[in-house]
């Protein structure tokens, strides 16, 4: 990976993932480049797929969507076709903000966001459990987030980047 990005690229990525609203001028000032080379570096990293997208993170609590649940799902028969069918069904569920295929006693871990316990129960009964592929669901209600970040640990790429 160190051949793909250098320290300046890593600094740019650090700034962008901290605040996607920064202008190229702001970024270039902070990394010590003029705007044109900085913009070219950003475009190159977009073309390489290193920068996947730039998003705005909304405050769930202020929107009244502060009920969060981690849901462990076990399929009755976890074969390729059933896993793909389940993943397609999850794609149509706006309440599911993350879905991961996992190892161990369950097949999927879902992160679900709703308004409250009643909304979650409706989602569980009417949406999730309506999928006939599921043999078991275990819900873990989040009491409080002690850490919640979208930042990738860029310091793990190479030792030179650790100074970010």
pLDDT of the chain along its 164 residues, tens only?
A: 456 889 899 999 999 999 999 999 999 999 999 999 999 999 999 999 999 998 889 999 999 999 999 999 999 999 999 999 999 999 999 999 999 999 999 999 999 999 999 999 999 999 999 999 999 999 999 999 999 999 988 888 865 555 55
The reply to whether CATH 3.30.1300.10 applies to domain 7-56 is no
| CA distances to 7, 32, 121, 146, 156 from 28, in Å | 13, 6, 49, 33, 23
How do 67-75 and 108-114 pair as beta strands?
Answer: antiparallel
Q: What is the pTM of this model?
A: 0.85
Q: Which long-range contacts (CB under 8 A, 24 or more apart) does 44-52 make?
A: 45/5, 45/9, 45/12, 45/13, 48/4, 50/4, 50/5, 50/13, 51/13, 51/16
Secondary-structure class of domain 67-141 per CATH: alpha beta
Per-domain residue ranges of the chain: 7-56, 67-141
């Amino acid at each position: 990976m160190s051949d793909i990005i250098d320290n300046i690229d890593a600094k740019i990525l650090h700034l962008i993932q901290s605040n996607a609203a920064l202008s190229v001028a702001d970024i270039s000032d902070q990394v010590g480049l003029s705007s044109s080379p900085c913009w070219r570096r950003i475009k190159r990293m977009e073309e390489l797929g290193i920068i996947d997208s730039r998003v705005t993170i909304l405050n769930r609590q202020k929107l009244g969507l502060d009920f969060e649940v981690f849901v462990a799902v076990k399929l009755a028969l976890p074969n390729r076709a059933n896993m793909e069918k389940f993943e397609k069904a999850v794609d149509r569920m706006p309440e599911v903000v993350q879905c991961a295929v996992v190892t161990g006693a369950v097949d999927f871990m879902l992160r679900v966001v709703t308004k409250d316990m009643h909304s979650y129960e409706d989602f569980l009964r009417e949406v999730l459990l309506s999928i006939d592929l599921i043999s078991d669901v275990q819900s873990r209600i989040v009491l409080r987030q002690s850490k919640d970040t979208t930042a990738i640990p860029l310091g793990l790429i190479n030792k030179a980047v650790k100074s970010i």
